Amino acid sequence: MREILVYAASQGGELTKPALEALGTGRRLAGEAGVPLSAVVLGADTDGPARAAIACGAGKVYAARNPILANFQPDLYLRGLEAAAAASGADVLLFPGDGPGRELAGRLAHRLGAGAVTEVVGYRLDGGVPLWVRPVYGGKAMAVYAPARERVVVALRPKTQDPAVPDPSRQGEVVPLAFEVSEAEAVTRVVEKIQEALSGVRLEDARVVVAGGRGLGGPEPFKDLEELARILGGAVGASRAACDAGWVPPTLQVGQTGAIVAPDLYIAIGISGASQHLAGISGAKTVIAINKDPEAPIFKRANLGIVADYKTVLPALTAELKKLVGA
């Protein structure tokens, strides 16, 4: 390994959480392997993100600054990333593994003729070469990949990496990138953004998540889950089955392909615990499962469980927890 380049994605002038996680892993790996850590920042104004990336340990920051990069647009952002990859010569490119990061990682890997791994949760060093560890088959197994081409693009699964801790006293160099990019290259454009009406806490940031699944049998019981979530200052989540049934909007979906959550407390009600769902709660500290099927896989992940029809438990539990938190 020669050099690690991290895509330090930013929003509103600040590095995103997944970008801080990528920088955290990049810094650890660079330190262990004794190679330089660089970052690339993109935007209309890159000063803030560049300073932040240096504070997070990047020795060199490639800045692709252009007014047309003010908002995320993959076709245009790719041009900046290509320029940074060419300027740095890094052989390991680390990407935040959120939606935009994964798309950019795949497309950039193709343009560079590089290998690509997504959903990476860790690495092992093998004679100075990082091997990439990622869950496969819905988390039932872990696979370890070695690079087979000169360069590799790695997208890290969000919420699995310790974020970088910024230290403003760190020094670094900002390298402006000269690259051609024109608005005409953008073949898609965002015409509207719709934020889901949020009552209360954002699912991804919630310290407590109360989630319901197929076992609830319909949309109505989610009102009771909302009540419990409100009392605990948390958010409501759902399994894919509940979202597919149309009981709740898909934005509430927790799991491999929905929200990845890492709350202090996750209460799974009527959720069987498919491996894809469990993959989304791997960072949860305490998991409570309430399910009438004692064989449900959720009990393998849960710390505390109640084997019962949730209807017999939920009203009393809500009252008890209300007392407990003094609400």
Site for another protein in 146-175 (CB under 8 A): 146-149, 152
Distance, CA of 266 to CA of 305 (rounded, Å): 12
Residue numbers 24-43 binding another protein by CB under 8 A: none
Q: Does 1 bind another protein (CB under 8 A)?
A: no
Beta pairing partners, 43: 65
| Minimum gap (Å) between residue 326 Cβ and another protein | 10
Q: Choose which of 137, 176, 182, 293 interacts with another protein (CB under 8 A).
A: 137
> Based on CB atoms, which residue is closest to another protein, 230 or 311?
311
Among 118, 160, 161, 272, the residue binding another protein under the rule CB under 8 A is 118
Q: CA-CA distance, 138 to 198, in Å (whole number)? A: 29
Report, in Å, the least distance between residue 11 CB and another protein: 8
Q: Which two tokens stand for residue 322?
A: 């209300």
Task: Point out which span in 45-53, 59-67, 110-118, 173-181 binds another protein (CB under 8 A).
Answer: 110-118
Q: What is the DSSP letter of 92?
A: E
Q: Nearest to residue 95, comparing CAs of 16, 188, 172, 178?
A: 16
Bridge pairing between strands 14-15 and 129-136: unpaired
Q: Per CB under 8 A, which region of 46-54, 88-96, 171-179, 310-318 contacts another protein?
A: 310-318
**Choice from 13, 31, 89, 99 touching another protein (CB under 8 A):** 99
Residue 110, interface with another protein (CB under 8 A)?
yes
| Phi, psi torsion values for 77, nearest 5 degrees | -60, -35
250 secondary structure, DSSP code? G
Phi-psi region of 233 (alpha: psi -120 to 50; beta: other; left: phi over 0): left
Among 28, 111, 170, 214, binds another protein (CB under 8 A): 111
Closest approach of another protein to the CB of residue 292, in Å: 11
| Residue 207 near residue 265 (C-beta atoms within 8 A) | yes
Q: Which residues are annotated binding-site positions for FAD?
A: 214, 239-240, 253-257, 270-277, 291
Looking at residues 223 to 262 of the shown chain, list those that interact with another protein (rule: CB under 8 A).
232, 240, 243-244, 246, 249-251, 253, 256-257
Closest to another protein by CB, 178 or 316: 316
Instruction: Mark the binding-site residues, compressed into ranges.
Output: 214, 239-240, 253-257, 270-277, 291
> Which pair of tokens denotes residue 19?
């970008």
Q: Rounded to whole angstroms, what are the CA distances from 305 to 85, 235, 261, 296?
A: 49, 20, 20, 11
* Under rule CB under 8 A, residue 265 binds another protein: yes
- Residues in a beta bridge with 154: 94, 117
Residues near another protein (CB under 8 A), total: 94
